[in-house]
A and B are shown apart, each in its own frame.
Chain A
Amino acid sequence: MASTTPMTFDYAPAPESRAVVDIAPSYGLFINGEFTEAADGKVFKTISPSSEEVLSEVAQATAEDVDRAVKAARTAFTAWSALPGSERAKYLFRIARIIQERSRELAVLESLDNGKPIRESRDADLPLVAAHFFYYAGWADKLAHAGYGPDPKPLGVAGQVIPWNFPLLMLAWKIAPALAAGNTVVLKPAETTPLSALFFADICRQAGLPKGVVNIVTGDGSTGAELVGHPGIDKVAFTGSTEVGKAIARTVAGTSKKVTLELGGKAANIVFDDAPIDQAVEGIVNGIFFNQGHVCCAGSRLLVQESVQDELLDALKRRMRTLRVGDPLDKNTDIGAINSAEQLARIRTLAEAGEAEGAERWAPDCELPSSGFWFAPTLFTGVTQAHRIAREEIFGPVLSVLTFRTPEEAVAKANNTPYGLSAGIWTEKGSRILWMANKLRAGVVWSNTFNKFDPTSPFGGYKESGYGREGGRHGLEAYLDV
Chain B
Amino acid sequence: MSDRNDRLSVLKTYKLFVGGTFPRSESGRVYEVTDAKDRWLANAPQASQKDARDAVVAARKAFGGWSGATAYNRGQILYRVAEMLEGRRDQFVREVADAEGLSKSKAGAQVDAAIDRWVWYAGWSDKIAQIAGSANPVAGPYFNLSSPEPTGVVAVLAPQDSSFLGLVSVIAPAIVTGNTTVVVTSENHPLPALSLGEVLATSDLPGGVVNVLSGRTAEIAAPLAAHQDVNAIDLTGAAPELATELETAAAENLKRVVRPQPVDWSADPGTGRMLSFLETKTVWHPMGV
Q: Do chains A and B touch in the complex (CB under 8 A)?
A: yes
Q: Is the CB of B288 within 8 A of A138?
A: no
CA A88 to CA B143, docked complex, whole Å: 38
- The smallest beta-carbon distance between A463 and chain B, in angstroms, is 22
Residue B149 lies at the interface, judged by CB distance under 8 Å to chain A: no
Given A86-B116, A138-B75, A434 and B285 contact (CB-CB distance below 8 Å): yes
Residue A217 lies at the interface, judged by CB distance under 8 Å to chain B: no
Q: B55-63, B121-129, B251-259: which lies at the A interface?
A: B121-129
Q: Is the CB of A431 within 8 A of B286?
A: yes
Residue A435 lies at the interface, judged by CB distance under 8 Å to chain B: yes
Residue B79 lies at the interface, judged by CB distance under 8 Å to chain A: yes
- The smallest beta-carbon distance between A88 and chain B, in angstroms, is 11
Residue B81 lies at the interface, judged by CB distance under 8 Å to chain A: no
The tally of CB-CB contacts under 8 A between chains A and B is 70
CA A74 to CA B286, docked complex, whole Å: 51
Chain B contact residue count (CB 8 A cutoff): 24
Q: Provide the A282-298 mask, 1 if CB < 8 A to any CB of B, else 0.
A: 00000000000000000
Q: Is the CB of A431 within 8 A of B126?
A: no
Q: Which of A377-422 contact B (CB under 8 A)?
A: 407-408
Residue B16 lies at the interface, judged by CB distance under 8 Å to chain A: no
CA A438 to CA B289, docked complex, whole Å: 11
Q: Which of B100-155 contact A (CB under 8 A)?
A: 116, 119-120, 122-127, 130-131, 141, 143
B120 neighbours in A (Cβ, 8 Å):
86, 89, 141-142
CA A455 to CA B127, docked complex, whole Å: 11
Q: Is the CB of B130 within 8 A of A473?
A: yes
A173 neighbours in B (Cβ, 8 Å):
none
Q: Is the CB of B289 within 8 A of A138?
A: no
A435 CB contact (under 8 Å) in B71, B75, B287: B287
Q: Is the CB of A138 within 8 A of B127?
A: yes
Q: Provide the A87-101 mask, 1 if CB < 8 A to any CB of B, else 0.
A: 001100100000000
CA A146 to CA B72, docked complex, whole Å: 18
Ranked nearest first, the 9 interchain pairs of A and B with the lowest CB-CB distance are: A138-B123, A434-B287, A431-B286, A431-B288, A435-B287, A434-B143, A407-B289, A473-B130, A456-B126
B residues contacting A by CB (< 8 A) are: 71-72, 75-76, 79, 116, 119-120, 122-127, 130-131, 141, 143, 271, 285-289
A residues contacting B by CB (< 8 A) are: 86, 89-90, 93, 131, 134-135, 137-142, 145-147, 407-408, 430-432, 434-435, 437-438, 455-456, 472-473
Other than A134-B75, A437-B287, A473-B130, give 9 A-B pairs with Cβ distance below 8 A.
A86-B116, A89-B123, A139-B127, A142-B123, A434-B143, A434-B286, A434-B287, A435-B288, A435-B289
